Structures are given as C-alpha cells and as structure tokens.
Amino acid sequence: MFGQKQRRHSVVDTLVGSNSQVNGDLNFTGGCHIDGTVKGNVSAASDSNSALSISEDGTVEGGVNVPYVVLNGIVRGDVVASQRVELGPTARVIGNVYYNLIEMAIGAEINGKLVHQPEGQVPLLETKDKRAETPVSLASAT
C-alpha cells in the first residue's frame, strides 16, 4: 500500500557494537548493522540481498559497496548501492554516492557527487592517479 515502507532486511547477521572498532575490511552476507567504527571498506556481493545499516553513532572510514544501504551515520569514502540507498537526516557522506534508487531526508549531507547507476551497471570509479598513469601520445594516434 501507499505510505508504507518495505523493510527487506530486518535480520542482523553481523553487528559492530557501539564500543567496537574494526581495523580492516568487513565483508558480509545478509544484514549488517554498524554502531561503532570500521576503518576499512565494507562490502557484500552486489548480486545478493545484503543490507547495511549505519546508526547515528556509526562511522565507516573507507568505501561501502552493498546492494541496500541505510545510512544515518558517517561514511568517509564512496558509497556504491546497486539497489537502493536511504540517507537519513543525520547521514554524512564525504565521497561520491553511486545509486540505483535513492531516498534522502532533509538534513542529509553529501560532500561529493551523486551518480545514478541503472540496475546491473558497474560504476566507473575514475581516479586522477589512474588517468595520470596512462600516457597519451599524439604521434601514435594518427
């Protein structure tokens, strides 16, 4: 019905508690909830129904690559959500957001680009370093 939100992933399989800090990458399947800090990338298989929720007190210092993302905390890195991203009123992203569907509450903050990625399309993450490594020769182009 209209006005009702669907909650696909109410089961939390992985929990990072409020007094916990993970140093390194976090890979999971199913549901993951972060109340603490993750200093590394957080990811799940893009063809899964995995979901990540980050509370107001949660922080990720790295990239996020999860099909479903519900963010109320801080992410210092790019967010890639192949299905859906929900940014709550206290959400802060210092990086780009790649999304298929997006929902933003008043107060959510993104310090980067919003890039729409249709379902099934792999985001092109372009960096200055990679472009600088590829020399271009005008003589070979002719």
Which among 23, 61, 65 has a CA at the least distance from the CA of 44? Answer: 65
pLDDT at 123: 52
What's the mean pLDDT in 25-50? 94
Q: How confident is the model at residue 122 (pLDDT cuts 50, 70, 90)?
A: low
57/139: higher pLDDT: 57
Q: Which H or E run includes 76?
A: none
Residue 6 has pLDDT above 80, yes or no: no
pTM reported for the whole predicted model? 0.78
Amino acid at 10: S
Tens digits of residue pLDDT in 64-78: 999 999 999 999 999
Residue 119 pLDDT:
74
Which residues are CB-neighbours of 70 under 8 A, at least 6 positions away? 51, 52, 53, 54, 85, 86, 88
**Per-residue confidence (pLDDT) for residue 47, from 0 to 100:** 83
Amino acid letter for position 14: T
- Cβ contact 54:31 at 8 Å: no
Annotated domain spans of the chain: 14-141
Does 95 score more than 60 pLDDT?
Answer: yes
